[in-house]
Amino acid sequence: MQASLKKSLYVGLAALSFAGIASATATTASAKSYATAGAYTTLKTDATSRNVAVNGTNALYTKPGTVKGAKVVASKATMKKLAASKKSASYFRAYGQKITNRGSVYYRVVSMDGKYRGYVYGGKTAGTFAGGIQSANTTTTATTPSTKTYYLKNPGKTNTLWTAPKYTQYKATKVINSTSALASDSFTVDSAVTKTKEGSLYYHVTDNNNTKITGWIYAGALQTGENSAITSAKSITVNYVDSSTGKSVKSGVLITASDAKSGSALGTTDTASVNSDIASSTYLPAGYSLANSSNTYVSSTTIWGSSVTVPVTANADAGITIANSYALNATTGASDKLTTTDALASDGSTSVSTAQSTFTADYQGVSGTVASQSGLTSALTSAKLNTIYVPVYESDGTTQSTNSAGNKLYTKYTLNTSSLPTGITFGSSSLTLNYNAAGSYALTAGTSTMTAE
């Protein structure tokens, strides 16, 4: 028994010794599983050559990923999303590196929008972008337009100039915060690129009034002709108002001259020319005359860019009315008069009576004739009278029919444009509209949507 006890103690001690050895071995192996990183080196090549795109195969860490204590900044999943992103903000700039004792290169990178910063595995060769990143061209050369001179489309309200198209270079900045002060300036385009991810076109421009203002701007923010701010500053703005009601009849009419200069006085010659234009049929609202034709509205000291108000009076023979609306009866062949009470215009929300009033108002002050059916068709379409919806009533004549969903029923009618007169004299004629039935429709409750039944 004593021998047996000694044997058991021996086996037990041996097992404990083995376990201790195994534990020590595991600790040593675990310690050796971490890499060590060398000194940090700043990358000194041209910054634009260090733009990179991630590919999602490696995560972003606070330290080289195999070094003890490295924490995840952006997971592989996040890096895959950035790789697939169509926004330039997801590009990165590499600016430093560390090499581990295993020969792995980890690059210090930051996203173009500054949201992500850390170390990403970059392969085994220093100075070469591999592993989880690759060199990227954030812009692609585009064709420089043949037209070289451009103006801002909406000064102060849209895009401004940048040192590089936004997010295509790290810390690209605005050359000028607002383009309001550049409203009257012209710009010369000397090169063009598209943002590789978005595909948007940018022009490199220089302000012709101040060559120190130069940079990249979204091509859609430019136009080849002068913008409205420039045009207004070189014009006289005329607002015609009804002398009896004081309401605007025609506003924002711009009258200019070839020698117009923003901020300068008209002078004698242009004064006579502008006053003549104000009274001419070219600018007067149709169907109106000057309230006092002897008036002069600008003088030689009037400044280009000024506004004037001109009273006018409607001509006596002005206007047009809609007498009646008819629809062809498919059974009898006769034209049945349409009851337009509660009828709706083509948009499903405006009443026909309102639409007719709009049409009449559009021609208030119009004299003479509309010489073609197409002219009337266009005007009626604009007033939403090309299609109308007439309510369907129950046998009592007052209760509007509904479908199974409780939506009110209407009969759709389309304008018979071929029945329109080829010419009509306003002020002495009224217009009769003819429509053709085009099926049953229901108005979806709470909307203006008409759906065929």
Six token digits for residue 259: 């020698």
Q: How far is CA 36 from CA 9, 41, 105, in A?
A: 44, 15, 12
The helix (run of H) or strand (run of E) holding residue 309 is: strand 307-314
- pLDDT score, position 430: 65
pLDDT per residue, tens digit, the chain (453 aa), is 344 433 443 344 333 343 444 333 333 334 458 999 999 999 999 999 999 999 999 999 999 999 999 999 999 999 999 999 999 999 999 999 999 999 999 999 999 999 999 999 999 999 999 999 999 999 999 999 999 999 999 888 878 999 999 999 999 999 999 998 888 899 999 999 999 999 999 999 999 999 999 999 999 999 998 888 888 888 999 999 988 888 888 888 888 888 888 889 999 999 999 999 998 878 888 767 888 877 788 999 999 989 999 998 876 544 455 655 665 555 555 666 666 667 888 888 888 878 777 776 666 555 555 557 787 788 888 888 888 888 888 877 678 889 988 898 888 888 888 878 777 666 545 677 788 778 888 888 888 899 998
Q: Could you tell me where in the chain the CATH 2.30.30.170 domains are found?
A: 140-228
Instruction: Quote the pLDDT of residue 440.
Output: 85
* Bridging pattern class, strands 201-207 and 214-218: antiparallel
Q: What is the pLDDT of residue 420?
A: 80
Pick among 3.30.950.10, 2.30.30.170, 3.20.20.120, 2.60.120.10: CATH of 140-228? 2.30.30.170
CB 65 within 8 A of CB 118: no
* pLDDT for res 333: 57
Distance between CA atoms of residues 185 and 210, nearest Å: 9
What pLDDT, on a 0 to 100 scale, did the predictor assign at position 11? Answer: 40
CATH of domain 234-314: 3.10.20
- β-partners of residue 303 are 265
Residue 213 and residue 161 in contact, taking contact as beta carbons nearer than 8 Å: yes
CATH 3.10.20 residue window(s) in the chain: 234-314
Given this model, what pLDDT does residue 30 score? 44
What is the CA 268 to chain-centroid distance, rounded?
45
Q: What is the pTM of this model?
A: 0.56
pLDDT attached to residue 120:
98
